[in-house]
Amino acid sequence: MSSRVTRKRARTEEEPAEQQMHGVNMDVDSLNPSDPGPTMSALKRDGESWFDDGTVILLAADVEFRVYNGILSGHSPVFQDISVQDHPLRAVCIDETQNITCSVVELSDSPGDLRHVLRAYMPREDASLSGKGPPTFAQLSASVRLGKKYEITQLYEQSLAVLKQYFTDDFWTWRSQRIWVPERFYTVEAIGVVNLARLTGEMSILPTALVSCLVLGSDIVDGFEREDGFKENVTLEDLGLCIRAQAEIGKASVGSVFRRFKPTVSAGCKTAESCGAAFRKVLYGLEQRMEILISGNPLAEYTAYLGGENIGLCAYCLEMLEDRDDKGRTDMWKRFPDLLGIEVPGWEEAATVQPEDRETLHPERYQLIMLACVSYEQC
């Protein structure tokens, strides 16, 4: 995994249309003068979630969403309760000759967050929760937070499952990742994942999210602004964890690398003098790579410390080095919760599961992840 700090998303294609600012229709039906909230001239119809035959109007900030109350209530018991409460009423058109009376329900959510959730259940032909490709942090964050708030169980669980697929407690899954965060995330959005872990109590995603925050350096203090304008920062408690963990993980990483290159040759080695010298050469050369040794990826493969050079070992010693490398990285993974100063039930168990055993050991978990991924791809 790359340890390069970046505020750019790890992707090269252009952002999909739904990532850009949505157009809105300023033509708003007449309001009841006694309605609270924004004035008529300030209200905007959402350009995506305004259905002419919708049965309820949701008002988030100054944006209105006309949607189907039955669909919302069917997925959310909270919305079901809200729908039977008293709300201001407004007569709106169904077509050129008919009107319908809709409740106007004012919500405290941001328009962007609400749009992501509505897109999941009432998509236009060209709209979806995830757009074209994997979901962004904004989409997953809105789905987790509003899914929890409104008890939209399926959306909440599927969104968490997607996060768990990347910010995983499974070492074999994590080691296959090429970058610190999912491809459509900014690196700094790992801060938001830490906050989601705290919000939901899903401790399994916390270690890798915190470790991803470590590569931000001083940028971790600045946090980032979500698309709804809310500022995401690590709490002082988690900032303290990161500061302490930076030193602890650095020390553990240095020790792990030195053990991997220990100049003890394999029992089957026929060129002990040459292979021993090769190990010592690597160890001496580590001084030139101190930055990556201390502040780089603590789970980096041994090749990251060779500077692109051929180490020059015999086949037996090379196989031994690769075994040491696997053990060193696995042991480092097992120690993450301790090095971070947190408790994560089942973490060490997950680290020892071989790839061929994962589905057998955690069938329900993997079925949920696969369901979530398929759902996002099909949206």
Judge whether 179 and 2 are in contact, CB under 8 Å.
yes
Q: Above 80 in pLDDT, residue 238?
A: yes
Domains of the chain, residue spans: 44-109, 137-234, 250-340
- Choose among 190, 187, 186: nearest CA to 163: 190
Question: Do 283 and 277 contact (CB within 8 A), yes or no?
Answer: no
Q: Please report the pLDDT score of residue 346 as a whole number.
A: 87
Q: How far is residue 76's CA from residue 147's CA, in Å, rounded to a whole number?
A: 9
For residue 16, how far is the Cα from the chain centroid? 18
Instruction: Tell me the average pLDDT across 219-237.
Output: 93
In the prediction, which pLDDT does 264 show? 94
59-109 confidence digits (pLDDT tens): 999 999 999 999 999 999 999 999 889 999 998 887 777 888 999 999 999
In whole angstroms, what is the distance from residue 172 CA to residue 180 CA? 15
Do 26 and 44 contact (CB within 8 A), yes or no?
yes
DSSP-derived secondary structure for 315-377: HHHHHHHHHHHHHHHHHHHHHHHHHHT---TTHHHHHT--GGGHHHHSHHHHHHHHHHHHHHH
| SS3 state at 60 | strand
Residue 355 near residue 326, CB atoms below 8 Å: no
pLDDT confidence of residue 74: 93
Average pLDDT for 342-357: 74
Which residues have C-beta within 8 Å of that of residue 75, sequence separation ≥ 6? 121, 152, 154, 155
| Mean pLDDT over the full length of the chain | 82
- The pair of three-digit structure tokens given for residue 204, joined into one six-digit string: 């399994």
Residue pLDDT, tens place only, 249-303: 999 999 999 999 999 999 999 999 999 999 999 999 888 888 888 877 888 899 9
Contacts of 368 (CB under 8 A, 6+ apart): 157, 158, 161
CB 144 within 8 A of CB 199: yes
CA 332 to each of CA 35, 163, 242, 260: distance values in angstroms, whole numbers, following the listed order: 60, 22, 16, 12
For 295-327, the pLDDT digits (tens) are 778 888 999 888 778 889 999 999 999 999 999
Question: Do residues 379 and 130 lie in contact, with contact meaning Cβ atoms separated by under 8 Å?
Answer: yes
Asked if residue 193 lies in contact with residue 137, where contact means CB atoms within 8 angstroms, the answer is: yes
Give residues with Cβ within 8 angstroms of 335, minimum separation 6: 252
Task: Label residue 39 by pLDDT band (50, 70, 90).
Answer: low
DSSP states of 109-163: S-HHHHHHHHHHHS--TT--SS-SSSPPHHHHHHHHHHHHHTT-HHHHHHHHHHH
- Which pLDDT value is given to residue 174? 86
Per-residue pLDDT at 349: 77
Helix, strand, coil fractions of the chain, as percent rounded to 5: 55, 10, 35
Q: What is the CA radius of gyration of the chain?
A: 26
Beta bridge partners of 105: 58
Widest distance between CA atoms in the chain: 94
For residue 369, pLDDT beyond 50: no
